[in-house]
């Protein structure tokens, strides 16, 4: 069943380059309401847990280093068909393959440092949102 929420992180490369404002503007202009948001920094344990599904992949160590090297913006977003529409808005994992106008096409440099995260299913949106936010912060 489709829900109306997804979870996102503006990743360390996007924050380092000063793109928080421009990316949030694009998210808002695309019809997403920000339900919860914070600037935070993931610990190594956080990143290993969040990306546990990729733990056997050759890039896992690089991914954990990248995601912990500086602040991120974590947010929960609301919109009809949120998960699928947000994946469309951010574009393909590799910015070289991302469609024109997508956030990764505009703000990402490489498949590893690709500016932004978007949940890939309703189930993962709920898990990832709960990972970063307590119920008190959301409601």
Size of the site for ligand IDP (CB under 6 A): 10
Nearer to ligand IDP by C-beta: 88 or 137? 88
Nearer to ligand IDP by C-beta: 25 or 65? 65
- Provide the CB-side half-sphere exposure for 34 (13 A, CA): 15
By CB under 6 A, residue 35 contacts ligand IDP: no
Strand order in the sheet with 72-78: 33-40, 72-78, 5-10, 116-118
By CB under 6 A, residue 93 contacts ligand IDP: yes
Q: Which neighbouring-strand residues pair with 75?
A: 8, 37
By CB under 6 A, residue 59 contacts ligand IDP: yes
Q: Let me know if 117 is a catalytic residue.
A: yes
Catalytic, out of 19, 54, 117, 132: 117
By CB under 6 A, residue 117 contacts ligand IDP: yes
* Binding region for ligand IDP (CB under 6 A): 54, 59, 62-63, 93, 111-112, 114, 117, 120
Mind telling me the catalytic residues? 117
* Binding region for Mg ion (CB under 5 A): 120
């Amino acid at each position: 069943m489709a829900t109306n929420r997804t979870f996102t992180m503006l990743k360390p490369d996007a924050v380092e380059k000063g793109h928080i404002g421009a990316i949030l503007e694009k998210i808002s202009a695309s019809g997403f309401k920000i339900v919860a948001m914070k600037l935070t920094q993931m610990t190594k344990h956080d990143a290993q847990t969040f990306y546990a599904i990729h733990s056997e992949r050759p890039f896992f160590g690089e991914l954990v280093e990248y995601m912990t090297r500086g602040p991120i913006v974590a947010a929960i977003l609301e919109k009809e068909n949120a998960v699928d529409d947000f994946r469309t808005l951010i574009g393909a994992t590799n910015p070289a393959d991302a469609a024109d106008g997508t956030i990764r096409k505009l703000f990402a440099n490489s498949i590893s440092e690709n500016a932004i995260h978007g949940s890939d299913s309703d189930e993962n949106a709920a898990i990832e949102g709960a990972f970063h936010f307590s119920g008190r912060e959301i409601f």
